[in-house]
């Protein structure tokens, strides 16, 4: 008897014959037409043995901007400094950054892709559980508050 099961996870690798999800390779069935997901996508697979008979893309991977090479320098032209620099070779005095004005939005944080965010969330939750495991009076809310604090620190 052939059993059918469902596997959910991130696509770790793709080749013409199948995909890798959760560290295991699954082959495309020649009897089912399914889309080929990109690496990093969150998918739900319907399997018969190790053959993919159904594939649903739950979340597309987060696009990261392509690495661009800096432009080649043809000729260096001196650019005047907005801050006067003494001729003795001493560095220009640094001005400290201004504190944000109350009510003004905070500067944008660096973009974190979905997978990094989920890993950070899982690590934070595990750390919170480990931290509060020896305290029988700790509530679920206390664990979640600690996990949120850990996650905020990880994604800072």
The CATH code of the domain at 4-59 is 2.40.50.320
Over 50: is that where the pLDDT of 95 sits? yes
Q: How confident is the model at residue 155 (pLDDT cuts 50, 70, 90)?
A: confident
Spatial CA neighbour of 41 closest among 28, 18, 58, 64: 58
pLDDT at residue 64, rounded to an integer: 53
Domain boundaries, the chain: 4-59, 114-154
Count of alpha carbons within 13 angstroms of residue 99, beta-carbon side = 3
Contact 81, 92 (CB under 8 A): yes
**What predicted TM-score, i.e. pTM, was given to this entire model?**
0.41
Long-range contacts of 27-31 (CB under 8 A, 24+ apart): 27/51, 27/52, 28/52, 29/53
Q: How confident is the model at residue 101 (pLDDT cuts 50, 70, 90)?
A: low
Over 80: is that where the pLDDT of 69 sits? no
């Amino acid at each position: 008897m052939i059993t059918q099961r469902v596997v959910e996870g991130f696509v770790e690798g793709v080749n013409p014959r199948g995909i890798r999800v959760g560290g295991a390779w699954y082959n495309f069935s020649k009897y089912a037409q399914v889309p080929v997901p990109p690496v990093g996508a969150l998918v739900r697979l319907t399997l018969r043995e190790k053959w993919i008979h159904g594939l649903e893309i739950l979340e597309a991977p987060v696009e990261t901007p392509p690495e661009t090479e800096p432009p080649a320098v043809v000729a260096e032209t001196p650019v005047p400094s907005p801050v006067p620099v003494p001729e003795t070779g001493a560095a220009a005095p640094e001005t400290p950054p201004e504190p944000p004005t109350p009510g003004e939005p905070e500067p944008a944080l660096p973009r974190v892709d979905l997978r990094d965010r989920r890993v950070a969330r899982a690590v934070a939750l595990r750390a919170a559980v480990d931290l509060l495991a020896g305290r029988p009076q700790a509530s679920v809310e206390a664990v979640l508050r600690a996990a949120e604090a850990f996650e905020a620190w990880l994604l800072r």
